[in-house]
Each structure stands twice: as structure tokens, then as C-alpha cells.
Amino acid sequence: MKPEQMEALRIDGSHGEGGGQILRSALTLSAITQKPIKIENIRHNRKIPGLRPSHLSTIKILGKICNAKIDGLSVGSTSITFSPGQIQDIKLQENVGTAGSISLILQAIIPAVALAGKKLELSISGGTDVPWSPTSNYTKFVLGEAFLRLGIKFEMNIKKRGYYPKGGGQIDLTVFPCRKLIPIHLSKRTTKNVKILCSFSGLNQNEISNSIASAKDVLQKQGFSTQSQITEDRALNPGASFLMYSHDSDSINGADELFDPKEEFGKNSTSAFVSSNFGADTNLSDMLVTPLALIREMSIFTVQQISTHLETNLYITSKITGCKYGVGKINSGYEIRITGLETSI
């Protein structure tokens, strides 16, 4: 049966964190599984309910990629129907406007394209490092590593930084077809090797360097070995992004933040990174769920806490794909087990 002939699966957009996460995850899974969906009560619990311009960008771009029929696509809309068509190899050039988050858009479209076995070449302008969103370095070096282990490969060139409020950054992205999804087991961080990446524009270089030195000092006192790279980039307005990350065979962890003149740059990320020795960091955990829900073998990872985004993604993936998952309490954290169904895709 063609997607347009199927009855749309109804999804309550107010569930869990009740924001943009449930929207992005549902749309991605709709495109992958070719199941039409109707999302209602979009951002019901937010101060300004309904779709915002940043959400429209994600929906429009994903709609182009999978030739979707979309109803309710307007700012303020609290209900949309998304009926996906076939995904094809495609080249796109997009501008999300001002500082709309490119990273959040990429979260939705990368797995959709790769798991359809297609290739995407995308040049996209907007916000590369903005509040309430992963930094572009996190997307490239942390999410990129996690997806690669799953069999999802993408290349990302950060050509120009775009900070809030003006944006104007540019990223060139290539997503490659995924031939086979691979289950993962991320149990505990054992490496003591950490990389720090910092990009800044229009700020005092000495202040930035001192912040990185402070972060390295904290890490070294905890027994970590550090490598750091500071890059001054051009941007439309001042800003800076900080990423600390590590990889080993049993873990992928990262912590990032943006420059805030009211706080010590990098302090929060350093504290978060040091305090967690689990298989995945809190932010990565929810990003893993969508592809893991489509693998019939069991995947297991540990995480320090169950975020509302993780809870939301576990809910929405099980609703759309029928995957099974379990959450177990372990010492100071949680273990997540996910098994997809052979018929998921």
C-alpha cells in the first residue's frame, strides 16, 4: 500500500518533553518507514505553542528529501500531517534564516537519507552554534562517531560559523547510503584521552585561551591526558563554542557549550564530562534511539540520567516502529536496551 493510501498514525506532540524533539524524531521515522503520521498538540506546553520558523525549516527540507505531502505547514500550527514519498539521491542548497539551528535539522535528515540507502549533498546556511542545540563540532565529532559505528556515514565541512542572533553560518554535508545497520554496546568509558575543540569569533583571544587552560587543568588533575585546538573563525557576530570529547571501544562521550559572558567558559562542560564515565553522554543517548529502533539485534548503552529527550524518543520510536526497549537502574546511572523488529524497515 502506498503511503498516501495508508491511514496516518496519530501522535500526541505534547508527550514527554513536548517540544521540537518529538516532532523531529517522528518525521525522521515517518520518512524511513514510509508511514504517514499526524502530529497533534505540537509544543502544547510551551509558552508559544505550535510550530516555530525553525521547525518549519526541518519539515520543509525533510519534505523535499522524501517528496512528502504535508498539511498544516505554517507558523503557529499545532497539527500537521506528513505523508512521505520515496527518498531519492538529491543535491540541495538551503538557507534556514538567521540563527536557526543547522545541527537540529541534521539530526532529522541524516538518518532518514542514509537508512533509505540514498545519498544527499547539502549546502545549508543558518546557525552553526546556537542556544538549545548541539554545537556543530558536537554533531561532527561525537554524533558522527556514534553514527559511523552504526553504519551511518556522513561528512561535514563547517565552512563558516554562525552564532546567535545573526547566524549566517554555512555547513556542507554529504550523507552516504547505509548498507547495513550495526548494533552497538557502549558500557563504560575507560579512556583517559580527551580532545578539546574551541572556535571563537570577535572575542578576546587571551580570555578564550585562559578558559581552555583552566579546563585542561581540571582534566589533568582527574588523570586525563588532553589535546586542544583553538580556532579563530569569521562570523557575523561574536561568539564561541566549546567541545570536550572522548572515544574508546566501549564509549562515546562529549560535552559542549557556548560562550556566555556571565559564566566561566567551558566550566559546565568540563564538570559534566568528568562526572560521567558511562557508555554515552546524556545528549547523545537520545540521538542513538532512532537508528537503534530499526536494528533487530539488541543494542545496549549506559547513561548517567534519563533526560526528557531520551524518554520522548523511546516513546515515539516504539510507537512508530514497534521496537522493544528496557530501562534498568545501575550504579549511579541507567542501562538502556533496545531491540528493533525485523519488519521495522
Q: Which residues are catalytic?
A: 309
d(C-alpha 23, C-alpha 14), whole Å? 10
Residue type, 29: L
The sign of the CA dihedral 260, 247, 148, 281 is negative
Query: How far apart are alpha carbons 159 and 169 in whole angstroms?
Result: 7
Grid cell locating 146: 556514534
> For residues 166 and 205, is the Cβ–Cβ distance under 8 A?
no
The residues facing 124 across adjacent strands are 94, 171
Provide the residue type at 295 as one letter. I
Count of alpha carbons within 13 angstroms of residue 55, beta-carbon side: 25
- Which pairing describes strands 169-175 and 154-160: parallel, antiparallel, or unpaired? antiparallel
CA distance 134 to 205: 23
In this structure, the number of other CB atoms found within 10 A of the CB of residue 52 comes to 17
For residue 13, which amino acid is it? G
- The secondary structure of the chain in percent helix, strand, coil, rounded to multiples of 5, reads 30, 30, 35
Length of the chain: 345
Three-state DSSP at 244 gives strand
What's the order of all strands across the beta sheet hosting 225-232?
A: 225-232, 193-201, 239-248, 251-258
